[in-house]
Each structure stands twice: as structure tokens, then as C-alpha cells.
Amino acid sequence: MKLLTIDCREVTGRPGVLLPNGDILDLAAAPSTLSESQWIPHSIVSVLAAGSDGLERVARLVSAADEGGADGRAQLRRDRVLLPFEGTALLPPIRRPGLVLVVSADGTTYLKSPNTATGNQSKIDIPWNDDAPPVCSGMLAAVIGRPFYRASAAEASEALAGFTLVLDLSIAAPGDAAPAADWRRYYESKQFPGACPIGPAIVTADEFGAPHARTAQLLINDVELAAGPAYEHAQALPERMATLSQRYGFRPGDLVCFEPDGGQRARECRVHAGDRVSWSVPDLMELQVEIA
């Protein structure tokens, strides 16, 4: 299942699910049209927080939307319950993550402000610095579906709702021997609005499968610059999440973003004004942004 958030007049957006045929089912509008359920999720976080029951309710709404056949789907399109993926503006699937935690390949962590989050097809205005060209890094993010703190690996695994894609935009990193003040300025350079594109959807863990078996691809202006497993250490993911939970408390909708093996430079590329950046897991989802 692919969960996303539709950009609309509501500040929080509207929760939706991407169907196999490319339509988006507006979950907030669906119950008023489909008789299957009177459950109205207010956000994707509310779906995740409901656990398996929330996902089962969404699955029933998807089935109900398909029961009317071609004529029924045509009416749902007229009612704006079904929307086309192409041309529908999207917010980050989690409109405002409570926590965006980035885990470096060496195990160190840093935070991205929730105000950095932006969605698919965004145009990003980077605060240019001639002395330090901006870079982007593609990462896989685990999406948390239930609260946990000081958890076991089994508990952390149960809290994993799915995965989404993240681009980390920043000014180029200082050298390894740089003083602490330079590293602090580097992390601060990651906090401008739009510095954390997310999406376009959350793919539930059952559909995503094993991240180490999925190939991720980074393209700039249609030129492939990096490719490899979405996350090499997927088998150790529950243990890593459990270790993080000894220091961090997690809630539904939080994101934990994992750098690829070898650090950011494994998928870190310079960007320039006018560049079109694509970070994708082919045949599953693609996050696209443009650099202003």
C-alpha cells in the first residue's frame, strides 16, 4: 500500500492512497461517497497510529472504490474522490514529521527541522554559497507507526510502518579534521526550508519488502550518478532502531533516515540552479525536485 498526502486548502492536507492504476483515492472524501465505512482519517499519521486496523480500513475503502466497475470509478472521478497522480499536488506524506533523525553510516546522528520538509515535485530555493557548493544525498527513511522507547529489536520491528524516500540538501561538508564549530555550521546549513524533500508516498513494509533487495537510483538531469541497494544493512535494521530508542523516544509519523554504506558521499552529488533531481526505487516510487 502506498500512502500519501494531497495538497489542498486544508493546512494539514488530505490523506490518500495511490492505487495500482495510478489514481489517488482521497481517503477524507471516500467515506462520504462509499458506503463501506464511516471512518474518516484526518491524516496519514492517524492511519499509521491505528496500526493494522487502520491499514485494513484503508484496504476496504480501496476495494469499495473498485466495486462499481468502470462506471463507478468514473463517478468517483467526477466527485473528486479519485484523482490522477499526474498533476495532483502532493505534500510530504507526513505533513510535518515530529522527528526527522538522520543516521550516518558511522552511527552518528543529527536532526532535520520539521520545517525543512517538502513534497514531491517541489521547486527548492537553496541559499547559495559560492565557497561551498550545495549537495544532495539520497536516503531511505523508516516511518514509525507506533510509539516506542528503550525498546527491544522485536518491539522496534513491530513499530516500523513502512518506508519513504528522503533527499538531504545542504552545503558541502567540512573535511574530516575540521573543528567542531565547522561541523556545527554544516549541520545548521541543512535546516533551510525545502532542505528535506520527502515522498512521494509511504510504502508499507509488507509491500516494500527487504530494503537490501531493492535498488535505489539517484539521477540529476536524467543522468544516473549513483545506484545500489536501498539500504545495505536492512537485516540489522531492528537492532539499529532498538539502539536508537535507548536515546530517542519515537512516535507515529517520525522518520529515521539512513545514510548508505560509506557515508553520504556514496550518494552525495553537487547540485546547481535548474537541476532536476530524481531519487527513486524503480517500479515502486520516485521523488523528484527541481533546484531553483
**Mean predicted confidence (pLDDT) in 262-290:** 83
Q: Which of 75-89, 117-131, 214-228 is predicted with the least confidence, judged by mean pLDDT?
A: 117-131
Task: Kindly tell me if the per-residue pLDDT of 113 is higher than 50.
Answer: yes
Task: Kindly tell me if the per-residue pLDDT of 131 is higher than 80.
Answer: no
What digits encode the pLDDT tens for the residues 140-186? 999 999 999 999 999 999 999 999 999 999 886 766 667 888 888 88
Domain limits, the chain: 2-90, 94-291
The Cβ of residue 85 has, within 10 Å, a number of other Cβ atoms equal to: 18
Residue among 248, 98, 260 at smallest CA distance from 166: 260
45 or 234: whose pLDDT is higher?
A: 45
Q: What is the pLDDT of residue 226?
A: 85
DSSP state of 211: G
Q: Name residue, grid cell 564549530.
A: 181
Question: What's this model's pTM, rounded to 2 decimal places?
Answer: 0.91
For 162, the enclosing helix (H) or strand (E) is strand 160-171
Task: Kindly tell me if the per-residue pLDDT of 263 is higher than 50.
Answer: no
d(CA 221, CA 274): 9
Going from the C-alpha of 229 to that of each of 4, 73, 210, 212, 266, the distances in angstroms are 23, 37, 10, 5, 11
d(CA 34, CA 286): 30
d(CA 8, CA 213): 35
Note whether 2-90 and 94-291 share their fold: no
Q: Report the CATH architecture of 2-90.
A: Roll (2.30)
Mean pLDDT (the chain, rounded): 88
What is the crossing angle of helices 69-78 and 51-66, to 10°? 110
| Percent of the chain surpassing pLDDT 70 | 91
Q: Report the CATH architecture of 94-291.
A: Alpha-Beta Complex (3.90)
Q: What is the sign, positive or negative, of the torsion defined by CA atoms of 241, 246, 251, 257?
A: negative
What digits encode the pLDDT tens for the residues 20-79? 989 999 998 876 666 555 677 889 999 999 999 999 989 988 888 888 788 888 989 998
Model confidence band, residue 218 (pLDDT cutoffs 50, 70, 90): very high
Task: Kindly tell me if the per-residue pLDDT of 290 is higher than 80.
Answer: yes
d(CA 200, CA 52): 22
